[in-house]
Chains A and B, each alone.
Chain A
Amino acid sequence: MSNSQVIDYDFDYYQPQNIEEALEYLGREGAQVLAGGTDLLNTIKIAGQQPPSLVYIIGVKELDFIKFEKGLTIGATTLLSEIEKDDRIINQYPALAESIHSIGGTQIRNQATLAGNLCNASPGADSAPALITLKAQAEISWKSEEREIERKIIPLEKFFTGPGATILRPGELVTAILIPEAPPFAGSAFKKIARVKLDIAKINCSVYLTRDGDLCNQVRIVLGSVAPTPVRARRVEDFLEGKKLNLSLLTKATKRATEDISPITDVRSTEAYRRELVSVIIRDTLMKAWKRSGGEIEK
């Protein structure tokens, strides 16, 4: 019965201390990962889902890390609040720090994990656009039938398959997020538009680009909350690559974004408003990323 106060069914609860144990429990039928719990407990209480067993992975210390070595690797149980305040991430991957800071409020970020935000796979997941523009990958682990630990690496761009859906199979656990090194003259930025700061996005946008003199070299733009999964604004990217940036070019380019999205009307916004906003949010975010790469914009 849907209620927000108690969980009214019994489940088996496991608290593994290491990856091997976690994958052992997750390999059993009906096992569900429990990390921060800020999505799952509501899915259970309100949406009435009843996973037969919960595997609480926050106790797995091996998965709690932020490592800088040939890029950035973030362990699956690292709290959002730890990631967003890491100075190296703020400096080298500002869009990532900004997008994580925009999630929920202090309390949620003190409990929730990056891997959890991705596995929940909301079309409006705030961490997804920045990670996809940064060409991030997910390291996924599981136990084979021979009880050996197997691993695979999947680009995040291929991770989401629909609202609330990912390519993860039963028994599979996201164990880390991998982000490549940021080259010099790279710039990234993130913007989120919501009713209040605690809210899920009406629309969010991340831009990552590299600058070659006054030419926009590579540009990746990802939008959230305007399609069943986070989407690339490819028509805008194609228009801008290799070009010298100025405001009128940006205005022309960002108008094409409406062809890359399929927004709906929901409690937070309308299809029409989202279509209206998409060109503006890309323009603002892109200009910020460009400035961060050291570029200037002509009027």
Chain B
Amino acid sequence: MKVPIILKVNGKEYALEVKANEILLNVLREKISLTGTKYGCGIGECGACTVLLNGRAILSCQILAVSVSGREITTIEGLAENNKLQPLQESFVDEGAVQCGFCTSGMILSAKELLDRNPDPTIDEIKDAIRGNLCRCTGYVNIIRGIKASTRKIRKRRKE
């Protein structure tokens, strides 16, 4: 039996009918065609499905779409504004933090939550914040560098 829900994603509202057993990750990818959020393990251990819920990083493979009706969701597609990349996205590109790109959406969103609450994290704080995001390509070095570099970019942009 389908129930009506309103998903607020990246500032837009989507009125949908879903069954209670539909998982948020699948609804984002298949019903709203936001495929930036990835299905990695499906059991909450890789972080590829990370989205922000009211600004907090969560695992969209571990939550039902009905449970988040009415709450603000941000996916990777919601970061760039007017075709201008967000500082984290720019820094990831600059620092070579993207190889296959599969972990990237989740990595950036976890980093975004960190920087929103701690604009100048130490390397250890960065590592701790992204410990729920696995990368099989980069060895994390450039990812951490990219996150650190973006803090300087953000500081600069704030001053402008």
Contact = CB atoms under 8 A, between A and B. Distances in A.
A42 interface: yes
A41 B67 CA distance: 13
A104 B132 contact: yes
A5 B42 contact: yes
A4 B45 CA distance: 11
Given A13-B20, A106-B110, A110-B56, A42 B44 contact: yes
Contact of B62 (A37, A56, A197): A37
The winner among B56, B58, B110, B130 for most chain A CB atoms within 10 A is B58
B42 A110 contact: no
Given A105-B47, A107-B47, A107-B110, 4 more contacts: A11-B20, A37-B64, A45-B43, A106-B130
Interface in B126-155: 128-134
B61 interface: yes
Given A4-B43, A107-B58, A107-B59, A10 B21 contact: yes
Q: Which applies to chain B's interface (DSSP): helix, strand, loop or mixed?
A: mixed
Task: Enumerate the 5 nearest inter-chain pairs by beta-carbon distance, A residue then B residue, closest first.
Answer: A105-B132, A4-B42, A13-B20, A7-B21, A110-B56
B23 A6 contact: yes
A110 B53 contact: yes
Contacts of A58: 67
Given A37-B64, A38-B59, A110-B53, A198 B26 contact: no
B93 interface: no
B132 A108 contact: yes
Interface of A: 3-13, 15, 34, 36-38, 41-42, 45-46, 54, 56, 58, 81, 104-108, 110-111, 196-198
Nearest to B1: A10
Interface in B13-69: 19-23, 26, 39, 41-45, 47, 50, 53, 56-59, 61-64, 66-67
Nearest to B47: A107
Interface in B101-124: 110, 113-114
Interface of B: 1, 3, 19-23, 26, 39, 41-45, 47, 50, 53, 56-59, 61-64, 66-67, 110, 113-114, 128-134
Contacts of A13: 3, 20, 64, 66
6 contacts: A56-B66, A81-B56, A107-B47, A107-B110, A108-B62, A198-B45
B67 A106 contact: no
A9 B39 contact: no
A236 to B, nearest CB: 31
Contacts of A37: 62-64, 67
Contact of B57 (A9, A110, A197): A110
A111 B59 contact: yes
The winner among B47, B114, B132 for most chain A CB atoms within 10 A is B132
A186 to B, nearest CB: 27
A200 B59 CA distance: 18
Contacts of B43: 4, 42, 45-46
Nearest to A56: B67
A198 B131 contact: yes
B87 to A, nearest CB: 19
B61 A4 contact: yes
B61 to A, nearest CB: 7
Contacts of B129: 106
